[in-house]
Each structure stands twice: as C-alpha cells, then as structure tokens.
Copies of this chain bind each other. A is one copy, B any other.
Amino acid sequence: MREVAIIGVGMTRFGRAEGSLVDMMCAPSIAALRDAKVGEHRVDEVVVANMGGARINRQTAVASALVDRLALYPAMAETVENGPASGAAAFKVGYEAVASGMADVVLVTGGEKMRAVDNLEATDFVASLSHPEAEYIYGVTLPSLAGMFTRLYMERHGVERKHLAMVAIKNHENAIKNPFAHIHQKITMEGILTSPDAEVNNPLVADPLRMFDCCPVSDGAASLVLAPLDLAVKLGRPVVRVAGIGQATDTHAVHEREDPTVLKAVRIASERAFDRAKLTPKDIHVAELHDAFTILEIAESEDAGFFPKGKAAKAIEKGMTALGGKLPINPSGGLKARGHPVGATGVAQLAELAWQLRGEAGARQVEGAENAFALNFGGFGNNVIATVLVREG
C-alpha cells in the first residue's frame, strides 16, 4: 500500500451560500488545488462527498458537474454518500485510490447546500438516514434520538447539564477565532443556562437538549488534495501524512444496542485507525470530533479512548479540551459553531487538522501539534470513520 499525504486544503466560510451546490464547491476546490501546487501533475480523480443533492438541490451526478465546472476532464469522478460521515468516507475512497495506485492526485470536495430547504424539511431530510422501518417511520429525528441518548448518558456517566453548556461555550469561543465558521457569537453560562432569561435565549429542542446544544443548519464546502507521500515530498509541500483510517458500523437502530450509551462503532473505528497509525490516544495533540450535539463530543471523547468512560465531564471542567489545554478538541468550533453542512463536515474536520499540523491555524493554532485525530459520525453512531494524521519532517 502506498503512503498517502494531504497536500492541499481549501474551504468556504460555512453559513449561507448563494448559487448552486456545484457553484459552492468550486472555490474551495480551486483553493485546495492552488495550495497543493501540483504543477504539471494533472488531477486524476475527483471524489465528492454529498448526502442530499438529489433531494434538496435536485442535482445528482454532482462529481461530474464539478469536474466540468473546473475543466478537469477526463479525470475520474464519483460521489460518496454516507450520511453525516459522507466527508470522511469520500476521503477514504480518495485515499484508497492513491494507496492502490489507481490515481496519483485526487481532489476530495465535500459540500452540502442545506439551506435550499426550510429547517423542517432539513430535519426530515437528515432523519432519512435513520432506520427506515424501526425509527424513521415513527417520526424519529436526530435531535429526538440525541435527547434520549443525553438523558441516559447523564444518568449513567456523571454528565451534568452544565457540562453540555461548557462544550457549547468552548466551541463557540473557538469558532470566533475561525474565519470559516458559521457562527461568530460568544455565549456564556449565564446566557444559555443559569440566568432567568436562559429558557428564552436557549429554548428546548429535545429535552434535555436546548438550541445551543445542537449544530446549526449550514451551507458549506471543503476540499483536500491527496497524493502519494513521495510526490508530496518532491513537490516540497508541508507534508501531512494519512497515518491511519478506521471505519466501523453498528446496529442501524439505536434501541437495538445492548448499551445505547456505548458507541461501539466509535470504539472500533478509533482502534482501527490508531492500530494502522501505530499510535495511541495519548499521542494525539489535537482532535476534531463530531459534535452535532454537545453530548456527542463528550461521548466520542470517551469511546475514542481519550478519557475513560464517565471521565470526560471532569476533563472539560478542568479545561483540558479547550485551546491551551492538554487535548484541545474542536479548535475549529466543531459542528456546533463552525457549522454542519453534512457532506462537507468530514472533509472540513481533516482540513482543520491539516492546517493545525502545518501551523497555519492562526489564532486557534494548537502549538506543536504533530499528531491529530478526526472522528466523523454517521447516522446515530451506525457508521463511524476515524482518521489519524501525522506531520512529517
């Protein structure tokens, strides 16, 4: 298997995009290709991550449309869909294309234009990834699943309501330092939880989750360029090596899990990624986790192996996951505040980590970051992809 590196990074500011889904994907794709400085090397393949173009944008074959817009034909191209883990799945497909030798230079672009539909339609669209007969048909949505999950998690694993708020406050604070983030808004414990106005500022969505526990509905796109490690070195680019990718599935319906508070697919995917990278959670300097809901950052940080089960809340209290802490989590602002354009998210996480490893993350830079970890969480934990990136040289 050939070693693979990330040699180019690009991103839109998340939030609301004008134009079409394909329009939105052009700028980050061009930025990543310019950043990669591939010179005479042509782009061999374009892998697009997108979940809902067919439904919410009346656009299929997005990868072919993007190739056309960027005049990259006859490059190979396809779209990968994997629910909210579409971004990392597309990255994995691009990685395997390079690793297998089928392609040298691969552009991976993830994007979603979710604000083309209203919030209710967006919620229903996202719910279409739940179990068709055991969940979706009964009106389950992702926030309702997350609410039930949170309640059980609080009962069993020492998480209190304030810890959820701490995750939101931290990620909003980080996002203010990220020019690509959807939300640039400082929030406080008083404002969202303890003051008399908190229930108005921060209304209930799915008890105990409130508005500031849930990611926004965002448009956005992010791009990466992959190449064989030796080509990356030859081009003289800062080299971010893809040290290991792990993926795992779990029961589609959440209620079928022996212990629904254990995210088995997170555990297996993370173990697989660490095994391939020959690293452990202790070696990681910065992580991007999939905090579509605040509880998920807490649960994933435990099941990925960064904290023992039931210990993440205390770590958050101590500031260990804040910028400047021992393991900064979601320096980008995470899904919570950078935003969550579904197909883009997994790519955006890796883009943020590539910037961090290259020392190009500006005000949110984690000093001395050499090893990084991303977790892209599909469904409600039924399809998870973990990726370990390592700075070379």
Contact = CB atoms under 8 A, between A and B. Distances in A.
A198 interface: no
Contact of A128 (B58, B252, B268): B58
Given A96-B96, A97-B96, A100-B100, A253 B68 contact: yes
Nearest to A66: B252
Contact of A73 (B59, B79, B125, B251): B251
A264 B106 CA distance: 21
Interface in A286-342: none
A54 interface: yes
A262 interface: no
| A-B residue pairs, 5 tightest by C-beta | A68-B252, A61-B83, A74-B248, A100-B100, A61-B129
A279 interface: no
A287 to B, nearest CB: 21
Say how many copies of this protein the assembly contains. Answer: 2
A2 to B, nearest CB: 8
Given A20-B133, A67-B252, 11 more contacts: A54-B54, A55-B55, A64-B249, A64-B378, A65-B252, A68-B382, A74-B265, A76-B249, A77-B383, A79-B80, A80-B81
Interface string A54-93: 1100111111110111001111111111110010010011
Contacts of A58: 55, 128, 136
26 contacts: A1-B102, A50-B81, A51-B54, A51-B60, A54-B55, A58-B136, A59-B128, A61-B378, A64-B83, A64-B252, A64-B379, A64-B382, A65-B131, A65-B252, A67-B252, A68-B251, A68-B252, A72-B249, A73-B382, A74-B250, A78-B80, A78-B383, A79-B81, A96-B99, A99-B102, A102-B245
